[in-house]
């Protein structure tokens, strides 16, 4: 599947997004929440794969207030430096607001149920999406800083799945244990742990990519969305 660029009109202005639709043209929707690299090739590929599975996938440009159209890779020090700078300046509260706008946009396209999936920064935002938006089902991959917002778990009203990398360099073991122990009290939250994996193990072509564990996580995500969005 090959998607295309669109503009979403939100309460604070218009921002770009990448939209990929299935052959049927319609289906349940999924907002793909970017990493710190913007709407780059891996994010577009994730949307295309979801579209090939029958979903309408939308990747909103969450950095639009800072710098519209960011597209970085994880292959150079310069891109990493720029990505970390964007993350430091990124307003999480406004980001979640934009995700809700993207969810609402998918509903206007005819998607009945709409979910979300995020990676890295997007994994953290996926957790907040589950707590603050009307996403019907949400998945977060190796979210960073979830342990700083554990109080928000009480607001989760729809299913959430979290994939945690056991050797995540950005989420130390004590933080992981805090997340797991807290979420154990919330039946809507499912956690899968990948003990030997590092951060971004599901980013194809990345330094820590692991085909077997990425495949396992992605299959769990696919089953989760089939159960809750169709």
Q: What's the chain's average pLDDT?
A: 96
Query: What CA–CA distance (Å, rounded) separates 173 from 167?
Result: 8
pLDDT at 181 over 80: yes
Catalytic hit among 61, 168, 208, 228: 168
**Domain with 186 in it: what CATH number?**
3.40.50.1820
Decide if 168 is catalytic: yes
Rounded Cα distance between 122 and 59, Å, is 11
pLDDT of residue 1: 56
pLDDT digits (tens, 9 = 90+) for 214-225: 999 999 999 999
Q: Which domain does 222 fall in, by range? A: 4-229
**pTM higher than the cut 0.85:** yes
CB atoms within 10 A of CB 41: 12
Instruction: Give the number of domains in the chain.
Output: 1
Using one digit for the tens of pLDDT, what is the confidence trace for 29-81?
999 999 999 999 999 999 999 999 999 999 999 999 999 999 999 999 999 99
Q: Which of 199, 208, 210, 228 is catalytic?
A: 199
Cβ(101)–Cβ(11) below 8 Å: yes
Is 163 a known active-site residue? Answer: no
């Amino acid at each position: 599947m090959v998607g295309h660029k669109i503009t979403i009109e939100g309460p604070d202005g218009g921002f770009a997004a990448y939209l990929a639709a299935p052959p049927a043209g319609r289906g349940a929707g999924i907002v793909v929440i970017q990493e710190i690299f913007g709407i780059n090739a891996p994010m577009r590929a994730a949307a295309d794969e979801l579209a090939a599975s029958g979903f309408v996938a939308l990747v909103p440009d969450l950095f639009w207030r800072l710098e519209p159209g960011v597209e970085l890779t994880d292959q150079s020090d310069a891109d990493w430096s720029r990505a970390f700078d964007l993350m430091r300046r990124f307003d999480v509260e406004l980001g979640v607001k934009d995700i809700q706008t993207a969810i609402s946009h998918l509903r206007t396209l005819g998607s009945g149920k709409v979910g979300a999936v995020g990676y890295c920064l997007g994994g953290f935002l996926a957790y907040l999406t589950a707590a603050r938006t009307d996403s019907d089902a949400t998945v977060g991959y190796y979210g960073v800083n979830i342990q700083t917002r554990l109080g928000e778990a009480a607001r989760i009203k729809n299913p959430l799945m979290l994939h945690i990398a056991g050797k995540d360099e950005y989420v130390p073991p004590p933080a992981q244990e805090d997340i797991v122990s807290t979420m154990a009290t919330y039946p809507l939250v499912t956690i899968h742990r990948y003990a030997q994996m590092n951060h971004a193990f599901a980013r194809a072509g990345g330094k820590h990519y692991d085909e077997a564990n990425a495949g396992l996580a992605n299959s769990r995500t696919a089953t989760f969305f089939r159960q809750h969005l169709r």
